[in-house]
Amino acid sequence: MSAQLIDGKKVSTEIKKQIREDVENWVLAGNRRPFLKVLQVGNDPASTAYIRAKTRSCSEVGIDTDTAHLPDTVSARELKSVIRSFNNDDSIDGILVQLPLPSHLSSHDVIESIDHRKDVDGFHPMNVGRLSVDQPTFKSCTPAGIFELFKYYSIPTKGKHAVVVGASNIVGTPMAVMLSRENSSGKATTTICHKFTRDITIHTITADILVVAAGQPNLIKAEMVKEGVVIIDVGINRIADETSEKGYKLVGDCDFDSLKKKASWITPVPGGVGPMTVAMLMKNTLLAAKKSIYPEE
């Protein structure tokens, strides 16, 4: 078998085109252009690259944005006071605090200080909780993007065995929640593996759909899956590459070359899940501007 490629770049371009039209119609109807405020603490190069991709997408879809910078020595109190000022600023629709934060700051604490009505990443406990009980919410962007890929390529999840490797708050856990809900989204029987799972192969080998978000290059190899599996590789890992100008290349968590011979569908890295995550951020920002999730009283 040779897997069909799930082209996140193509699908995200189509979704962003639709978002651009929706944004222009919103503005033509007399509304202010949506505005996304990004906050970067410190100057981690990977974070800077992610923010660049997000702000580029904003300009593609017609969403205004700017990035505030704080030094990596900022105190929790100072950071939260800046976030509070964004919460209270009516010209800001969405707030994104780029993660990870320096180790002296608690990301839980910082995320909770964002007004959940502006939490376009979908990381605030209010939005995560609403996701778990099938209420309208800002869905965490990466799982939401993966569901758009399932929809686009008509990949069924209902009744399937889905295995998620990785249980982080921002990817693995919301992905497993969305896959497992019986009244919305996934309707799949779902297994979550994490670093304490004794033998992940026992689980991955039975997966109809395998979503991998562990941040471990080459974790999943062909002998760990069954013929016809759908592989969604969320991992983005920088590994040294002397042949590249940058000195590194990006790889996922899955051994693409061996898996593509066994899977029915597979996402590449880059160009798979990554661009979808950014497209969903654009979607959530427009939803925030329209007050679609949390209507004004």
Q: What does the binding site for ligand NAD look like in residue numbers (CB under 6 A)?
A: 142, 165-168, 170-172, 193-195, 197, 200, 213-216, 219, 234-237, 273-274, 277
Query: What's the one-letter identity of residue 296?
Result: E
Distances (CA, A) of 237 to 32, 100, 140, 174, 252: 38, 15, 20, 21, 6
Tokens 């990004």, residue located? 38
Q: Please confirm, yes or no, whether 90 is among the known catalytic residues.
A: no
Say what the alpha-carbon torsion angle 286, 144, 142, 191 is, to the nearest 10 degrees: 160
Active site residue: 16, 40, 80, 98, which one? Answer: 98
Q: What is the 3-state secondary structure (H, E, C) of 36-99?
A: EEEEEECCCHHHHHHHHHHHHHHHHHCCEEEEEEECCCCCHHHHHHHHHHHHCCCCCCEEEECC
| Comparison of 35 and 123: residue with beta carbon closer to ligand NAD | 123
Cβ burial of 227 (10 Å; 0-12, 13-18, 19+) is exposed
CB of 286 to ligand NAD, least distance (A): 19
CB of 218 to ligand NAD, least distance (A): 11
Output the residue with the shortest Cβ distance to ligand NAD: 168
CB of 177 to ligand NAD, least distance (A): 14
Active site residue: 93, 119, 121, 208, which one? Answer: 121
| Comparison of 89 and 223: residue with beta carbon closer to ligand NAD | 223
CB of 217 to ligand NAD, least distance (A): 9
CB of 10 to ligand NAD, least distance (A): 16
Query: Do residues 82 and 68 touch, judged by C-beta distance below 8 A?
Result: yes
β strands within 155-269, DSSP E = 161-165, 189-193, 209-212, 230-233, 237-240, 248-251, 265-266
Query: Do residues 140 and 179 touch, judged by C-beta distance below 8 A?
Result: no
| Comparison of 42 and 215: residue with beta carbon closer to ligand NAD | 215
| Comparison of 4 and 216: residue with beta carbon closer to ligand NAD | 216
Residues in the chain: 297
Tokens 């899940």, residue located? 273
| Comparison of 142 and 185: residue with beta carbon closer to ligand NAD | 142
| Comparison of 92 and 212: residue with beta carbon closer to ligand NAD | 212
Locate 291 and state its tokens: 């007050």
CB of 54 to ligand NAD, least distance (A): 11
Q: Please confirm, yes or no, whether 216 is among the known catalytic residues.
A: no
Active site residue: 16, 54, 260, 262, which one? Answer: 54
Q: Please confirm, yes or no, whether 134 is among the known catalytic residues.
A: no
- Facing residues of 4 across strands? 265
Cβ burial of 297 (10 Å; 0-12, 13-18, 19+) is exposed
Q: Report the catalytic residues.
A: 54, 98, 121
